[in-house]
Structure 1
Amino acid sequence: MSPRTRAAMRPLTLALLCGLALPLLSGAASAQETQPRLTVTGEGQASATPDMATVTIGVSATAPEAGPAMDAASESARAILDRLDSLGIDPRDRQTSDLSLQPIWSDGGPGVAPAVTGYEAGNMLTVRVRALDSLGDVLGAVTSDGANRLSGLTFGLQDPDPVMEEARRDAVADAMARAQVLADAAGVTLGPVIEMSEQGGGYAPKPMMEMRAASAPPIASGEATMSARVNMVFGLGGEAAE
């Protein structure tokens, strides 16, 4: 056979080999798709003592004119910022979250149209307190400096990753335990993990401890609980041996 003839036959040989391999690959994929499967959802939780709090504090002031009302609110806000400086709250941990100015209307009455009688100005500040044992003192101090609004107090973790990892491990262990119970109840063997995915987790506070300080409000920080959820798909084998 000449070299030219052998060269011409190489593509034909490769095509035949590929044609023979395709049914084998297709059969393997089909067998995997028809393999019995078990899908379970596992849930896990992990808790830790919070080491950070986030709180929104603010001031409101009223005056007959808009300018004086805003000036009064701004002066109180500056006093609060100065106090936060003295308490060691880092500038990166405080942010103005809302500025407002709105008219104050009279109620009016029969035959009397409502009228603007003054203005109310507001200045809200969101603050992160990383030294959690000083939270009560911080709130007491800013209140004495003119803060008359308080909302959105939440507790959290400065580094939540280790707690979240523990919750994920707990969720996987829960899913595997559920799968094993179901396989045992059905009298079949539990195969390997085929698919695994994570669903959204969350955080839930649990009141646990309380902090008190002189002239400061009592604060219950509780626990920071992270939750995780995973979906796992297992293959199933034949009947389990007795």
Structure 2
Amino acid sequence: MHRFVWQAVWAACVMTLGAGMAHAASAEAASGIAVQGEAEVRVLPDRAELSVAVEAQKAEADAASKAAEAAAARFLAAARALGAEDRAIQSTSLRLSPEYRWDEERRQQVQIGYRARRDISVQIEQLERLPEFLKAATEAGMTHIAPPRLYAHEAKLHQREALRLAMGDARANAEAIAAASGKELGGVISVDARDEQHYPVEPRAMMRASADQMESQEASAFSAGEIVYRARLRARFAFMP
């Protein structure tokens, strides 16, 4: 009887130990290893967004409106002549506001006229023509020219490629650590990813040169630089049990 009891106890201990070892192995596989992955994709921009505006200040509202509308019309005509389609042009309606100055003697604001403004944004699909658009804006009388925003029209594809490469980098890191530890890498447990874009420096200097020296510079002198799509992620891989 006692012998039977001890055999049963021993068997139970062996089963418990085996279950514990299996649980430990399973827990180790589940906890796995956390690694980082990084990658970047560099592409040349092939599009630009140019935002310009005209402001006209005159003593009479009608005169201010006509001056602003005339400059806007000249630029829109030039932009279309350069190949910009209507779908690529956004234009605000004319905004008219009174202008004041401070009268020190009377200690109050005195109206001196009116200010009219029109804002126009153009999507330029032929990046090499950007200097021509800048020149057209200057010649049309646009008084405000924002630094052009350069971008690539397949931005999502480039960003996804950066994420794919970052995941491959993370797996390679995990495989190297697993091999050094004498283990075999399993599947992915979790991934925490983030991406970012770094645009080239806005061509402020080029824009000023386009306004002041366009007559003596060729459009081919424009240099856009690269857009960098970066991806960083943290991935956890399981070990094979």
Shorter-chain TM range is 0.7 to 0.9
Residue pair 2:151, 2:227 contacting (<8 A) in 1 also: yes
Whether the 8 Å CA contact 2:29–2:239 is kept in 1: the answer is no
AA at the equivalent of 1:102: S
Amino acid at match of 2:112: T
Unmatched 5+ residue regions in structure 1? 1-26
Higher helix share: 2
1:227 aligns with 2:230: yes
Cα distance between partner residues in 2 of 1:98 and 1:175: 52
Alignment RMSD, CA only?
Answer: 3.3
CA distance 1:237–1:97, change in 2 (3 Å): farther
Q: What TM-score results when the alignment is normalised by the length of structure 1?
A: 0.72
Higher strand share: 1
Q: Count residues with an aligned counterpart.
A: 209
2:207 equivalent to 1:204? no
Q: CA deviation at 1:197?
A: 5.1
Matched residue of 2:108: which SS?
A: coil
Alpha-carbon offset, residue 59 of structure 1 = 0.8
CA distance in 1, matches of 2:176, 2:114: 67
CA distance in 2, matches of 1:155, 1:187: 49
Residues 65 and 145 of structure 1: is their aligned pair in 2 closer, same or farther, counting only changes over 3 Å?
Answer: same
Q: Secondary structure at the match of 2:146?
A: strand
In structure 1, distance between residues paired with 2:154 and 2:80:
24
Q: Is the 8 A contact 1:36 1:237 kept in 2?
A: no
1:92 lines up with 2:95 in the alignment:
no
Give, in angstroms, the shift of residue 232 of structure 1.
2.2
Identity %: 26
Trace 1:50-61 onto structure 2 (pairs within 5 A). Answer: 50-61=45-56
User: Is the contact made by 1:98 and 1:125 (CA closer than 8 Å) also made in structure 2?
Assistant: no
- Cα drift, residue 102 of structure 1: 2.8
After TM superposition, the score normalised by the length of structure 2 is: 0.72
Where do residues 146-225 of structure 1 align in structure 2 (5 Å cutoff)? 146-183=141-178, 188-196=183-191, 198-199=193-194, 201-206=195-200, 214-215=214-215, 219-225=222-228
Shift of 1:129: 1.0
Give yes or no for the alignment of 1:236 onto 2:239: yes
CA contact (8 A) 1:37 1:234 kept: yes
1:101–1:40: structure 2 CA closer, same or farther, 3 Å change rule?
farther
Deviations 1:36-59 (A, max 9, x none): 232334232101111111110121
- Distance in 2 of aligned mates of 1:139 and 1:174: 42
Name 1:15's counterpart in structure 2. none
1:75 corresponds in structure 2 to 70
* Cα distance between partner residues in 2 of 1:119 and 1:69: 6
